Amino acid sequence: MFKLIYKFFDKLEDRVRGSLSHSPVLYSLIGGVSLVLFWQGISVVASSVPFLNTPAGGMVLIFVSVSILLMTGLFVSFFIGDTIIISGINKERKMVDKEEAELVAEFKMMNEMEKKVEEIDDIVKELQAEIHHQHDK
């Protein structure tokens, strides 16, 4: 039963995401409103627990939530983002600060890298076929 529900929502998500990706502003608006409503719901549930409405309870909530976020790796990822960290480590400029020629050069380089990966993939497949052929003898 759970798998059936999971598959339904997985397929629904793919269709909705595919449709909304053509309208990024609408997608952002729907996502933003939904996130605010989600956190408002969490807040309402948490406020119904008397202990959590005290300063000590608030500190417990902060400690527990930050601990979970740190353990799962979501703390930095959510608040800063992996892309910003990686670009900082690589000393890259922000996308908006790059010139068109620089972006075109990066795009070409990525296409070349993709072609090389495909070539390596083809070689690996050939080697696997050769090994299987020799193994069958």
Give 5's Cβ-side CA count (13 Å radius): 2
Q: Please tell me the predicted confidence (pLDDT) of residue 73.
A: 77
Q: Please tell me the predicted confidence (pLDDT) of residue 115.
A: 92
Local mean pLDDT, 10-residue blocks, the chain (137 residues): 87 86 87 90 88 87 88 75 67 63 81 92 90 79
Q: What DSSP letter does each residue of 20-55 carry, written as one string?
A: HTT-HHHHHHHHHHHHHHHHHHHHHHHHTSGGGGSH
What are the tokens at 62? 């902060």
Q: Please tell me the predicted confidence (pLDDT) of residue 10.
A: 84
Q: Please tell me the predicted confidence (pLDDT) of residue 72.
A: 80
Q: Please tell me the predicted confidence (pLDDT) of residue 96.
A: 56
Q: What is the pTM of this model?
A: 0.48
Task: Compute the CA torsion angle 93, 95, 99, 105 (nearest 10 deg).
Answer: 90
The Cα–Cα gap between 131 and 127 comes to: 6
